[in-house]
Amino acid sequence: MTSNQPIHSVLFDNTNEYYGQQQASDGLQFYSSSYGDQYNSANYYSAPPPAATGDMRSTNYDFSTSGSFWSAFGTGGYADEPPLLEELGLNFGHIKTKSLTVLNPFRTVPNNHIKKKRPVDRNIPPKIEAYVPESKLYEELCQFERNMDSAIMKKRLEIQEALGKPTKVKRTMRIFISNSAADQPHEEEQEEEEEEEGHMFEINSENEPSWTLKIEGRLLDPLIPTKKAQPVQKFTSFFKSILIELDNGELIEWRKQASSTESDGIEVKRKGDKDVHARIILVPDYTPQKYKLATGLSELTGLRLATKPQIVTELWGYIKEHHCQDPHDKRIIHCDKKMLSLFGVEKLQFSQIPDVINRYVTQPDPIQLEYTIRVDKRFHASPKAYDVDVELDSVLKQKMMNVVSASQVQKDILALDDKVVQCVQSINNSKMKRNFLMQFSMHPIEFINKWINSQARDIETQQRMQELLATQSTKQ
């Protein structure tokens, strides 16, 4: 019987990754041979003809009769492979830990493309404390790490949940309106008077009279100052559009574009030598979009301006508080007097709530400011400043995103975990080697007989599998 497939994951010498091609540094050949087949063993092991001395590291050792001996130990990746150097205690300096993937014993084609699984076992072998007293401290550290991981994961999930919710901070923006005038008729008269008095002030009389309207805004400092300077959003970032209606019927509109840059204000220049009354309409840019609630819905929810998810949440809270759900079918909502007067129906399906809400919400009212553009002076400013409430993204949101996306920290932790796993594997291997040698030294004959019986059972099982496969292939 030939055994072409590994039957379990093993550790092997780093100089013998290709069985049948390399030679171990201590003289042992790690070749796969047929169990008890002298022809195959002699060819695979290429033992020299001199008489055997019984020394496995000697070049005179007769490997042709050693198939059963290797299988008795059963330590290689193949059923009849020689024992590993590590388990024999030879040349530990060049041994490195590697693993072979367990393959299907029914497979006849070598599978060289299976990825090696990453080792994750970090458990110290049982009863190791007698040999390594420090292992108890390691177990305590592992338990502490598990507690820390649990707390960190809980906090991370809370942060991720918070990131999904709109986190806004209310601030106040102060808006200033002013205008300047140029090349006005009264300025020419003033120029003549100044020339008579000896003042030199040039005015280009060839230009037509004009005026320039300026609308500017800036955020006021928070009531509670922060230690670190927060990023400042500019005036135009808070509005979708700005519409200016002049009393002569002219409309001037500024609309935010995706590619437009933010600025601290806008300017409008027009020709004219008369005072003009302007109505300035500012349309706020809410993110996420907010809506104005109808009077009845506002009384139910207690909201005046809110997002649709907020409206649904508050309405659902009202339904639960007033026990409007059907006791048998929770999807049905029985409207009370307030809901009946508002919605006009006695029953509602829970899935209908978003559609019903859409009928009672509208776009929020824009901000309207009045201003008179005066041309009797070169510069004129409104005696009033207008304060408008705006919402900014919280600085904590960016910090939370940095915590969740700390990829470099995770890479460092994984690298340290790999080192811990390697150390634990080394301890496990050392314990296996010690147990192996201890059992062999205490009862060598009984130990070898047990291994021979175990390998015999494995061979018998594998032979039955091959016979079964042969029978099935014959039937097909």
Cis peptide before 49 (omega within 30 of 0): no
Nearest to residue 458, comparing CAs of 7, 5, 4?
Answer: 7
Is residue 116 one of the residues assigned to a domain?
Answer: no
CATH number reported for the structural domain that contains residue 383 in this entry: 2.60.40.1970
Tell me whether residue 79 is in a domain: no
Q: Rounded mean pLDDT of 168-197?
A: 76
Whether residues 160 and 280 share a domain: the answer is no
Q: Is residue 89 part of a domain?
A: no
User: How many CA atoms within 13 Å lie on the side-chain side of 22?
Assistant: 11
Scan for tokens 């994750």, then name that residue. 120
Query: Hey, which of 22-36, 106-120, 149-163 has the most confident mean pLDDT?
Result: 149-163
pLDDT digits (tens, 9 = 90+) for 50-63: 333 333 444 444 44
Query: pLDDT tens, 82-105?
Result: 444 444 443 434 433 333 344 444
In angstroms, what CA-CA distances link 328 with 221, 297, 324, 337, 339?
55, 27, 12, 21, 20
Note the pLDDT of residue 154.
Answer: 87
Q: Taking a C-beta distance cutoff of 8 angstroms, is the pair 335, 324 a contact?
A: yes
The pLDDT of residue 32 is: 36
Residue 415 lies in a domain: yes
| Confidence (pTM) | 0.51
Confidence of residue 126 (pLDDT cuts 50, 70, 90): confident
Report how far apart the first and last C-alpha atoms of the chain are (Å, whole number): 23
Same domain, 172 and 299: no
pLDDT tier at 71, thresholds 50, 70, 90: very low
Q: Is the pLDDT of residue 3 over 50?
A: no
Same domain as 212, residue 160 = no
Judgement on whether residues 134 and 243 belong to the same structural domain of the protein? no
Q: Could you tell me if 129 and 262 lie in one domain? A: no
**Distance between CA atoms of residues 171 and 390, nearest Å:** 5
In this structure, of 171-185, 263-277, 333-347, 399-413, the range with the lowest mean pLDDT score is 399-413
Total tally of structural domains belonging to the chain: 3
Confidence class for position 223, pLDDT limits 50, 70, 90: low
For 225-242, the pLDDT digits (tens) are: 655 556 678 999 999 999
Q: What is the pLDDT, as a whole number, of residue 364?
A: 93
Identify any residues that bridge with 255 across adjacent strands, giving them in sequence order: 241
Do 343 and 268 belong to one domain?
no
Mean pLDDT, residues 117-135: 74
The Cα 67–Cα 446 span in angstroms is: 19
Confidence check: pLDDT of 254 > 90? yes
Q: What angle do CA 74, 76, 78 make, to 5 degrees?
A: 90
Name, of 32-41, 313-322, 383-392, 397-406, the range with top average pLDDT. 313-322
The rounded percent of the chain whose pLDDT value lies above 70 is 66
How confident is the model at residue 376, as a pLDDT?
87
Is pLDDT of 40 > 50?
no
CA distance 214 to 278: 12
Assess whether pLDDT exceeds 70 at residue 309: yes
351 and 308, same structural domain?
A: yes
**Can you say whether residue 27 is alpha, beta or left, with left for phi > 0 and alpha for psi between -120 and 50 degrees?**
left
The two tokens of residue 56 are: 């496995």
389 & 421 share domain: no
Domain CATH code at residue 325: 1.10.245.10
Of 77-81, 384-388, 401-405, the least confident: 77-81
Is residue 376 domain-shared with residue 272, that is, in the same domain? Answer: yes
Kindly state whether residues 252 and 298 are assigned to the same domain: no
Task: Tell me which of 379 and 132 has the higher pLDDT.
Answer: 379
- Least confidently predicted of 50-54, 175-179, 412-416: 50-54
Q: How far apart are CA 344 and CA 346, in angstroms?
A: 7
Question: How confident is the prediction for the chain on average, in pLDDT?
Answer: 74
| Residue 114, pLDDT score | 53
- 470 part of a folded domain: no
Predicted local confidence at residue 413, as pLDDT: 86
Tell me: do 239 and 311 sit in the same domain.
Answer: no
Q: CA 349 to CA 311: how far, in whole Å?
A: 17
Which residues constitute the domain of residue 324?
290-362
pLDDT band at 200 (very low <50, low <70, confident <90, very high): very low
For the segment 103-113, the average pLDDT, to the nearest whole number, is 49
pLDDT at 386: 92
pLDDT, position 284: 93
Mean pLDDT within 383-408: 77
Q: Is residue 46 part of a domain?
A: no
Structural domain contains residue 450:
no
Query: Does residue 160 lie within any of the structural domains?
Result: yes
**Residues 428, 409 share a domain:** yes
Bigger pLDDT: 211 or 47? 211
